[in-house]
């Protein structure tokens, strides 16, 4: 019979005072919590495209609001047929149109109507979409079904095509009228995005806690759900502003947007068609102004989207 010798091994344990335990990770409780908008601003201000687009947009808005600061020439009163398709000269750096009007002055003053239509249409679409989408998404039921079906009907109608049909029967055409017509056919996109965001937010813990505390549904919607659901709407609205400016130019180019006596880039492009062979800059210059404006808003919208949705930036 074989004996198994069991050997005991001594274990050394260091005293606690010789091995002090230091904190590995400590939360700084004195630092103020950063909001989503603070993180978004920190992300946007680091990108050159944000500053380039912002500077261009501010310049365009200032030109549209105060055109007299950039030119002292009246775009209509100083039109002389003797200057028809004239070359640039002192005081008229971009030459003249076929009617003898100053091209530079018309581009400056034309920004007012084009930008006004874009801003008004964006505000109308955004406000209506937020209201309709948030009510439908939060309360649900018959209201949600009704709004969804009405939105599907308008989704089936292209915005420009619907605007062409409606503008052709309206007796008066003003920037407000064009903006209202565009808003009638463009609101479902914002409403659907807002509805989806509200559906995700209404099941959050803070909504449940507010309900348990006895806060009314409408107050929860206004104070908690909408502020936490509006980020994707802001992204789409920023991009849509440039789209509405293009839509106004398209309607004016077709002759059913703003009337010819209202200066806009769309009207100038339409009137310059006859001079494209003899004086192409009359058409190219307002087209360039329109393109730069739309590109600025698209660039800003792209930056805002990446800042508010980091997952979208990671997928690119």
Note whether 151 and 140 are within 8 A (CB). no
What's the confidence (pLDDT) of residue 58? Answer: 94
31 assigned to some structural domain:
no
pLDDT exceeds cutoff 60 at 65 = yes
Which of helix, strand or coil describes residue 36? helix
Q: What value does the mean pLDDT of the chain take?
A: 84
pLDDT exceeds cutoff 80 at 3 = no
188 assigned to some structural domain:
yes
76 assigned to some structural domain:
yes
What's the confidence (pLDDT) of residue 231? Answer: 86
Which tokens sit at 276?
């494209």
CA distance 309 to 61: 27
pTM over 0.75: yes
What's the confidence (pLDDT) of residue 77? Answer: 64
Residue with tokens 């004195």: 30
254 assigned to some structural domain:
yes
Note whether 177 and 118 are within 8 A (CB). no
- Average the pLDDT over 50-67 and give the result: 93
267 assigned to some structural domain:
yes
pLDDT tens for 177-215 read 999 999 999 999 999 999 999 988 888 888 888 888 888
21 assigned to some structural domain:
no
Separation in Å, CA 20 to CA 15, 17, 36, 92, 299:
9, 6, 39, 81, 55
What's the confidence (pLDDT) of residue 82? Answer: 77
Where in the sequence is the domain holding 111, given as residue range(s)? 46-84+91-308
pLDDT exceeds cutoff 50 at 292 = yes
In terms of Cβ atoms closer than 10 Å to its own Cβ (0-12, 13-18, 19+), residue 122 is: buried
pLDDT tens for 83-127 read 777 788 887 788 888 888 888 888 999 899 999 999 999 999 999
- Max Cα–Cα distance, the chain, nearest Å: 130
Please, what is the end-to-end C-alpha distance for the chain in angstroms? 75
**How many domains, in total, are found in the chain?**
1
- Average the pLDDT over 238-250 and give the result: 90
Residue with tokens 């365009």: 60
What's the confidence (pLDDT) of residue 259? Answer: 87
Separation in Å, CA 206 to CA 36, 135, 201, 221, 280:
16, 18, 9, 11, 60
2 assigned to some structural domain:
no
Q: Indicate the angle between helix axes 141-155 and 175-201, nearest 10 degrees.
A: 130
What's the confidence (pLDDT) of residue 294? Answer: 92
Spatial CB neighbours of 149, under 8 Å, sequence gap ≥ 6: none
CATH (domain of 145): 1.10.3720.10
- More confident: 277 or 197: 197
66 assigned to some structural domain:
yes
């Amino acid at each position: 019979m074989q004996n198994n010798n069991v050997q005991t091994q001594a274990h050394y344990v260091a005293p606690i005072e010789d091995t002090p335990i230091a904190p590995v990770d400590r939360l700084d409780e004195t630092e103020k919590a950063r909001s989503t908008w603070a993180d978004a601003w920190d992300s946007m201000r680091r990108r050159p495209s944000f500053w380039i687009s912002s500077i261009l947009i501010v310049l365009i808005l200032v030109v549209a609001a105060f055109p007299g600061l950039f030119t002292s020439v009246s775009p209509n009163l100083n039109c002389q047929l003797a200057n028809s398709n004239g070359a640039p000269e002192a005081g008229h750096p971009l030459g003249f149109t076929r009617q003898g009007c100053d091209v530079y002055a018309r581009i400056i003053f034309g920004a007012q109507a084009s930008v006004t239509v874009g801003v008004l249409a964006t505000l109308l679409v955004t406000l209506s979409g937020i209201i309709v989408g948030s009510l439908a998404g939060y309360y649900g039921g018959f209201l949600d079904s009704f709004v969804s079906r009405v939105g599907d009907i308008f989704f089936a109608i292209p915005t420009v095509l619907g605007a062409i049909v409606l503008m052709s029967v309206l007796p008066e055409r003003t920037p407000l009228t064009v903006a209202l017509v565009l808003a009638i056919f463009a609101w479902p996109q914002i409403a659907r995005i807002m509805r989806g965001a509200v559906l995700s937010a209404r099941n959050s813990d803070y909504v449940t806690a507010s309900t348990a505390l006895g806060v009314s549904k409408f107050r929860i919607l206004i104070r908690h759900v909408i502020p936490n659901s509006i980020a994707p709407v802001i992204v789409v609205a920023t991009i849509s502003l440039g789209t509405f400016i293009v839509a106004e130019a398209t309607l004016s180019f077709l002759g059913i947007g703003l009337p010819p006596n209202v200066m806009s880039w769309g009207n100038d492009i339409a009137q310059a068609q006859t001079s494209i062979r003899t004086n192409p800059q009359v058409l190219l210059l307002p087209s360039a102004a329109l393109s730069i404006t739309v590109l600025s808003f698209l660039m800003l919208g792209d930056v805002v989207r990446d800042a508010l949705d980091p997952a979208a930036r990671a997928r690119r």
